[in-house]
Structure 1
Amino acid sequence: MARRYDSEAVRNRVLSTSVRLFLERGYHGTTMAAILKEADVSSSSFQNVFGNKDGVMYELMKLMFSEQFSAADSAAALLGPNASPAFAYALETSVQLTIAELSEIIRDLYLQAYASERSLEYIRRNTAKHLQKFFQQYNPSFDEEDFYQMDIGTSGLMLGFMLRPCDDDFPLDVKIERYLQMSLSALNVPAEERTTIIEGIKQQDLRSIAKAAVKQLFDVLSDTFDLELQAQIFGEEECDKEESAE
């Protein structure tokens, strides 16, 4: 029992420290030495619990994406029985792209999650369940494994669009529209319905929704790890620059 308690204590200290450092410095800017020093754990204890820094990222990623999947379910519930189920997916992915564009540090965490084989497998398996919920009517013969295979492609699209930062020639609204056209088409949403969904997304205040979503995530992280993260939601100067350019 004592060993299990020690493992839990190490796990909690490392996760709490890592969340704070990742959000302050970014994933790649956070060294193992910094985590070990600030969490006050030995290298051997760390390796016994997490293996390596990627293991820490995996635990954080599960929490991040569970919040994201929960938000998608909530969005779907608010749309009502007559709304397109694909709209919830379109909104969730549009907000994800917006968050990644407005916060370089969170974009770094997303990219690391997509670059890690273990994390990416978790994302694909859980996304497949949501794709089946939202897109079964367009693909009646598909089972969960079929949607998993589809997400191999759509997650690759998401990674590709995240890797290319927006600029004057490729603004955020164009990035989102291109992503939705390609992903919804791949998931067999009819062309007319795709157009309606994309026009509906254009009417959303995605920056405000993105900020609210990140605040909610940070509130969960703060409660889980006893941290003060509210002041770190976005670099406001970056958001203001984006908005003033519109």
Structure 2
Amino acid sequence: MLYAAVQLFLENGYEKTTTASIARAAGMAPSSFFAAFENKEALLLTLVKTMFSSQFENTGVILGENADPLLIYGVETSLQMYIAEMSEPLRELYVVGYTLPTTSEYIYLSTAKKLQFIFAEYMGTAELKDYYEMDIASAGITRGFMAKKCDMYFTMEDKLRRFLKCCFTLYKVPEGKQEKIIEQVLKLDLKSMAEKIIADTVKKAEEGFESVLNDI
């Protein structure tokens, strides 16, 4: 059923995909959906957990263990922007993930500690509670930029520069450091990296999301 949901979300988007269509695509009766998940949002939460559970770690592996944490943050969040720009269903899926109560709360809670590690140098005496609350703000920035489609007047480079500058400023990163990291991010082949992430996500769905199901 998770595999069916991934396929339908990628084809039709979140809103147009019904629980009945997910069950039917999985070869089950429509009512079978609710034996597995309370509702469609609960299924999306499972997918969000899969996508976000190792996002910083995976980026760290790509960049190397000695990479600047700020660079890891910049690349990881920029990859989300690239993924959202790959298709309208993906854009909707990300925007919904940053909007619904359960999925957005998971994002705030799961990233607060990572943000504390990344930005502690610049945030003085800020505590974990502060990072949780500030992540509400940075997630709002992320959602807003994701929802805005790029065009000839607002290119992906423009979007990433403005987005990263907003987030780094929120976490009090010095101007010079911001510019250095942003230039490093923009030199990377983010498009190819984003395509690989989507391919890996679909592969995990095909394999049954066994690790996620075991956690549940």
TM-score (norm. length: structure 2): 0.88
Question: Deviations for 1:165-214, whole angstroms, at most 9, x for unmatched residues?
Answer: 00111111000000010100111111110010011112111111211222
Instruction: Identify which of 26, 30, 42 aligns with 2:13.
Output: 26
- SS of the aligned residue for 1:224 comes to coil
Structure 2: distance between partners of 1:212 and 1:37: 28
Residue identity in the other structure for 1:46: F
Moved more, 15-24 or 89-98: 15-24
Structure 1: distance between partners of 2:44 and 2:56: 18
Superposed, 1:32-47 pairs within 5 Å as 32-39=19-26, 40-43=28-31, 45-47=32-34
Instruction: Identify which of 39, 50, 57 aligns with 2:37.
Output: 50
Instruction: Identify which of 84, 87, 90 aligns with 2:68.
Output: 84
Specify which structure has the bigger relative contact order, considering alpha-carbon pairs within 8 angstroms and separated by 6 or more residues. 2
| Structure 1 residue 89 displacement after superposition | 0.2
Correspondence for 1:162: 146
Structure 2: distance between partners of 1:70 and 1:224: 22
Moved more, 51-60 or 177-186: 51-60
Instruction: Identify which of 68, 77, 98 aligns with 1:114.
Output: 98
Residue identity in the other structure for 2:41: D
Structure 2: distance between partners of 1:79 and 1:199: 20
Residues 112 and 135 of structure 2 are in contact (CA less than 8 Å); yes or no, is this contact kept in structure 1? yes
Structure 2: distance between partners of 1:204 and 1:156: 25
1:222 paired to 2:210: no
Structure 1: distance between partners of 2:40 and 2:188: 37
Residues 60 and 72 of structure 2 are in contact (CA less than 8 Å); yes or no, is this contact kept in structure 1? yes
- SS of the aligned residue for 1:115 comes to coil
Residues 75 and 88 of structure 1 are in contact (CA less than 8 Å); yes or no, is this contact kept in structure 2? no
* Structure ID, larger Rg: 1
Structure 1 vs Structure 2 CA RMSD: 2.0
Instruction: Identify which of 65, 78, 98 aligns with 2:82.
Output: 98
Equivalent residue pairs, number = 209
Pair 178,197 (structure 1): closer, same or farther in 2 beyond 3 Å: same
Pair 129,157 (structure 1): closer, same or farther in 2 beyond 3 Å: same
Question: Deviations for 1:96-115, whole angstroms, at most 9, x for unmatched residues?
Answer: 10111123222221111112
Question: Deviations for 1:41-67, whole angstroms, at most 9, x for unmatched residues?
Answer: 452x53354221111111111111124
Correspondence for 1:140: 124
Stretches of structure 2 that go unaligned for 5 or more consecutive residues are 211-216
TM-score (norm. length: structure 1): 0.78
1:189 paired to 2:189: no
Pair 68,103 (structure 1): closer, same or farther in 2 beyond 3 Å: farther
Residues 124 and 148 of structure 1 are in contact (CA less than 8 Å); yes or no, is this contact kept in structure 2? yes
Correspondence for 1:211: 195
| Structure 1 residue 79 displacement after superposition | 5.3
Pair 74,133 (structure 1): closer, same or farther in 2 beyond 3 Å: farther
Structure 2: distance between partners of 1:58 and 1:225: 13
- Identical amino acids, percent of aligned pairs: 37
Structure 2: distance between partners of 1:33 and 1:217: 23
Correspondence for 2:213: none
